[in-house]
Amino acid sequence: MHFALRPQLHGHETFAAFAEAQTLGARDLIFTQRILHKTFMQDSAAQVLFYDDFCDGEPTDVAVDEMLTAIRKMDFDRLVAIGGGSILDSAKVLALDSEVDVAGLFEAGVQPSRKAGLILVPTTCGTGCEVTCVSVFDFPSIGSKIGKAFDAGFADHAVLVDEFLSKIPYPVFATSSADALVHAMEIYLAPKATPYTDMFCMAAIKSILEGYMRIVEHGRESIQQDARAYLIASNMAGIALANVLAGGVHAIAMHFGSVHHVPHGEATRLFLPPVFKIYYRKAPEGKITEIAQLITEILKVPQDGTNPFDALDSLLAKVVPTKRLDEYGMTEGDRRPYAAKVIETQQRLLVNNYVPLSDKDIAAVYTDLM
């Protein structure tokens, strides 16, 4: 058994309070989006590099290569990445002490040290990647997103700033928080889960589901009151993720998201209900009953034989609506080749499944969502 909590954690209400606490100055390089910088950081003396000058969606290997070329010409002591998962994942690689490109960095056994301090500040409440060492990039030439854990990818400091959730667009909030829910639910069931990851996962699941119920009961305004709770929940799920990888939902989402250009949180949210319904059907005893019980309590599921994962599906349909797979461009004939591709490219994640998923199971997941 092994459990580690690497970065120091900090929480601040505002960017100004964070900047003062970390004494951000001219030797720091803020890596963020233009809109975030304009909204929250205009008074900062730190240097700045904009993610959106290289990429307008999730990072590809090609875009990160261009970021590497740019940042290697800059002189700074600390890299301060402020953004969603795309920006934080890119920053972990940008802070490495190396002269090779992304393809070289992703080769097995390549583990450069860090050339600068690294501070990661999430502006969404989902990926938890401020506390992990994994970077996930899209490799269009392979047709899949691939993740790699870098030993030096752990930040020195992970900082939760409430203010950054104050202007988050609802769809970004919805899909990112759903991704945190997926992390917590998948890792709770993973064969390598420990009592420590269990504790963080259960707390995250409870907090997010209670928040979702408040959205249903009191409206979307409740997100602002719950901002810190969502940031902490996604961070807790991230702490679990730093120790145990996610499983089948992520495996299927990684491939689908790459082929149909679907943002990560939207893709994982899509596949959560059908995969968990298969788990619950195949192995209704064991740890999944603890998640089922928690869902039953928080969602007030009637004790009349209603499947708690059907109730979860209905809640997600209200809070994090998505489309049918054919609306993303997938066809019936794609199911078997997609399933084969998931099994071919995502073994790193599939080994963490609660129960094994065959190619037929994965094809059935697609059928459920067509």
Applying CB under 5 A, the span of 33-41, 177-185, 204-212, 295-303 interacting with Fe ion comes to: 177-185
**Residue 128 Cβ vs Fe ion, minimum distance, rounded to whole Å:** 8
Please state, as a whole number, how many other Cβ atoms lie within 10 Å of the Cβ of residue 111: 14
Min CB(203)–Fe ion separation in Å: 18
Nearer to Fe ion, 19 or 242 (CB): 242
Encoded tokens for 1: 């058994």
Counting contacts by CB under 5 A, is residue 186 touching Fe ion? no
Q: Give least dist CB 127 to Fe ion, A.
A: 6
In the sheet where 78-83 sits, what is the strand order?
Answer: 8-12, 157-161, 117-122, 78-83, 28-32, 47-50
Shortest Cβ distance from residue 60 to Fe ion (Å)?
A: 18
Residue number, 179 or 334, with CB nearest to Fe ion:
179
Give whichever of 165 and 241 is closer to Fe ion, judged by the CB atom: 241
| Cβ contact 181:200 at 8 Å | no
User: Percentages helix, strand, coil for the chain, rounded to the nearest 5?
Assistant: 55, 10, 35
Q: Which listed range, 45-53, 176-184, 207-215, 351-359, lies at the site for Fe ion (CB under 5 A)?
A: 176-184
Binding range to Fe ion, per CB under 5 A, among 159-167, 175-183, 230-238, 299-307: 175-183
What's the min distance (Å) between Cβ of 208 and Fe ion?
A: 13
Q: Which is nearer to Fe ion, 91 or 182 (CB)?
A: 182
Nearer to Fe ion, 46 or 91 (CB): 91
Residue 130 or 179 having the CB closest to Fe ion: 179
Long-range contacts of the stretch 12-20 (C-beta < 8 A, 24+): 12/159, 12/160, 12/161, 12/162, 13/161, 13/162, 13/163, 14/161, 14/162, 14/163, 15/40, 15/41, 15/82, 15/161, 15/163, 15/164, 16/43, 17/161, 18/121, 18/159, 18/161, 19/44
Contact yes or no for 271/365 (Cβ under 8 A): yes
- Name which of 138 and 179 has its Cβ closer to Fe ion: 179
89 lies in the site for Fe ion, by CB under 5 A: no
Task: Closer to Fe ion by CB, 68 or 342: give it.
Answer: 342
| Smallest gap from residue 365 Cβ to Fe ion (A) | 17
* Site for Fe ion contains 179 (CB under 5 A): yes
CB atoms within 10 A of CB 43: 8
Of 92-100, 179-187, 219-227, 314-322, the segment contacting Fe ion by CB under 5 A is: 179-187
The window from 36-44, 162-170, 174-182, 228-236 that contacts Fe ion (CB under 5 A) reads 174-182
- The alpha carbon of residue 53 and the mean position of all alpha carbons in its chain are separated, in whole angstroms, by 23
Q: Which helix (H) or strand (E) holds 8?
A: strand 8-12
Closest C-alpha among 119, 123, 210 to residue 166: 123
Nearest distance from C-beta of residue 244 to Fe ion, angstroms: 13
Q: What residue has token string 């990429």?
A: 55
Residues found near Fe ion in the complex (CB under 5 A): 179
